[in-house]
Amino acid sequence: MNPTPNLFVGIAQVVANLVLFLALAPLFDGIVRRVMARVQSRKGPPLAQSFYDVLKLLGKENIDSTGILPFRLAPLVAFASMLCVIAILPVAGHATALTPYADTISLVYLLTLGGVAVLLGAFASKNIYALIGASREMTTMIMVEPILFMILLLGVLKTGSLDLTAVIYGTPSAEFGWPGIVMIVVSLFALQAFVARQPFDMAEAEQELLGGPFIEYSGPNYALFKYYMMLKQMFYAYLPIAMFVPLLKSGYFVLDLLLQVVLTALVFLLIGLLSATHPRYRIDQAIRYFATLFVIALAAIGAAVIF
């Protein structure tokens, strides 16, 4: 696709992307909490509760339990890498000023960097619970990141380009064919793993690991991690919508955006329902589940190459 002609619009787009994600991610998290509460016959917190949580944490003291640099840097790296992902993301088909400088590979890199930062912080905190949590997180990443990559790879194969706008929005849904349908199913089944919620929240597993990788974090550092998790969650909820739901092409950008946001909200409704109706799996059970998804995704890619 063509790089954005107007630099000024492009930069405005970067800022708009960031504002959109930073503003909506906690609200979407609020939707999950409300849905879960309703399934559990509770009233649930206000929609903006996750905002309040982050704000409260920002006002608290940072306890640096280890005194080493990686421990302090990890939340910053995780948060920054997620912001970069959002900055290069062509939301609703409109490339930002930064999109031309990135491609699908760098998107996957940046997402992985966020995950690695979480691991780094966990290992640096030298807590046995964090270590167990980190090892679970690592296993999950190794199994789940390839599935993400294969979802994007389908777009790459169809358009023959690594450019983000092309990969995510370039293919009309009909042209995906049945491998596309298989991939939609895979991305829905992997959704809970992508957003680290029940049944795949074993890395944090409150009842066993008391928050796992984040156990030693507090105050603003923990707020950054929380925000990072919410942004990541929104990205993963948005991705299948962006990939597989065609744009309206009505000429009005806002209309496209609105539709996609509403659909993303629906994905969060689904996340909430799934979280509320599942216990947490053990890591060995999760691995078996991911392996099945991995094979199915691989088969879909194979089919897309052959046919």
Partner 1 sequence: MRKELEAKLIARLRDDVVCVEKTDARTIFVDVKRAGIREAAKIIHGAGARYLCSVGYDNIARDGTLGMIHTFALDDCNQFVCCRTTAPVGDPVIESITPDLPSAGWSEREVTDLLGLRFAGHPKPKKLVLADDWPDGIYPLRKDVPHDLVPKGAEDVAYELDEAPPGTKIVPVGPFHPSLHEPEHFAVYVDGETIKGCDYRGFMTHRGIEKLCQTQVSYNEVPFIAERICGICGSVHATAFSQAVESAAGLVIPRRAEFIRTLMLEIERIHSNLLWLGVAGHLIGFDTVFMQAWRVREQIMWLCERLTGNRKTYGMILVGGVRRDITPEIAEDIRNVVNKIEEELMVIHRAIEKDTSIHKRTKGVGTITREQALDWSLVGPVARARGIDIDARRDHPYAAYDEVKFEVPVLDSCDVWATLVIRVIETFEAIKIIRQCLDKMPGGEIFVEMKDKIPALRHAITVVEAPRGESVHYVITGEENRPERWRVRAPTFPNLQAVPLMLLDEQFADFPIVMGSIDPCFSCTDRVAVVDLQTGKSSSISKAELDAMSRKQQQRA
Which x/- pattern, by CB under 8 A, does the window 126-165 give for partner 1?
--xx--x--x------------------------------
Closest separation in Å from C-beta 37 to partner 1: 9
- Identify which of residues 201 and 216 has a Cβ nearer to partner 1 in the complex: 201
Q: How far apart are CA 262 and CA 278, in angstroms?
A: 25
Segment lying near partner 1 (by CB under 8 A), choices 20-28, 94-102, 243-251, 270-278 = 270-278
Tokens 């944090």 belong to residue? 204
Residues in contact with 159: Cβ distance below 8 Å, sequence separation at least 6, in sequence order: 166, 167, 170, 171
Q: Quick check: 202 binds partner 1 (CB under 8 A)?
A: yes
Q: How far apart are CA 224 and CA 208, in angstroms?
A: 23
User: Long-range contacts made by residues 102-105, C-beta under 8 angstroms, separation at least 24?
Assistant: 102/164, 103/162, 103/163, 103/164, 104/152, 104/153, 104/155, 104/156, 104/162, 104/163, 104/164, 104/167, 105/162
Residue 97 class from Cβ within 10 Å (0-12 exposed, 13-18 middle, 19+ buried)?
A: buried
Q: Quick check: 279 binds partner 1 (CB under 8 A)?
A: yes
Closest separation in Å from C-beta 279 to partner 1: 4
Q: Quick check: 292 binds partner 1 (CB under 8 A)?
A: no
- Identify which of residues 95 and 286 has a Cβ nearer to partner 1 in the complex: 286
- Identify which of residues 250 and 277 has a Cβ nearer to partner 1 in the complex: 277
Q: Which of 206, 250, 258, 295 binds partner 1 (CB under 8 A)?
A: 206
Which x/- pattern, by CB under 8 A, does the window 8-47 give for partner 1?
----------------------------x--xxxx-----
Q: Quick check: 120 binds partner 1 (CB under 8 A)?
A: no
Closest separation in Å from C-beta 72 to partner 1: 25
Cβ–Cβ under 8 Å, residues 153 and 162: no
Q: Which of 112, 278, 298, 303 binds partner 1 (CB under 8 A)?
A: 278
Q: Quick check: 210 binds partner 1 (CB under 8 A)?
A: yes
Give the total residue count for the chain. 307
CA distances from 38 to 73, 165, 264, 291 (A): 38, 38, 20, 33
Q: How far apart are CA 4 and CA 109, in angstroms?
A: 23
Q: How far apart are CA 87 and CA 92, in angstroms?
A: 13
Closest separation in Å from C-beta 26 to partner 1: 21
Cβ neighbours of 104 (radius 10 Å)? 19
Closest separation in Å from C-beta 280 to partner 1: 3
Q: Which of 108, 282, 287, 294 binds partner 1 (CB under 8 A)?
A: 282
Closest separation in Å from C-beta 149 to partner 1: 27
Q: DSSP letters of 211-224?
A: TGGGTT--HHHHHH
Closest separation in Å from C-beta 198 to partner 1: 6
Q: Which of 201, 225, 231, 233 binds partner 1 (CB under 8 A)?
A: 201
Angle 182-295-191 from CA coordinates, rounded to 5°: 60
Binding residues (CB under 8 A) for partner 1: these are 36, 39-42, 128-129, 132, 135, 198-199, 201-202, 205-208, 210, 276-285
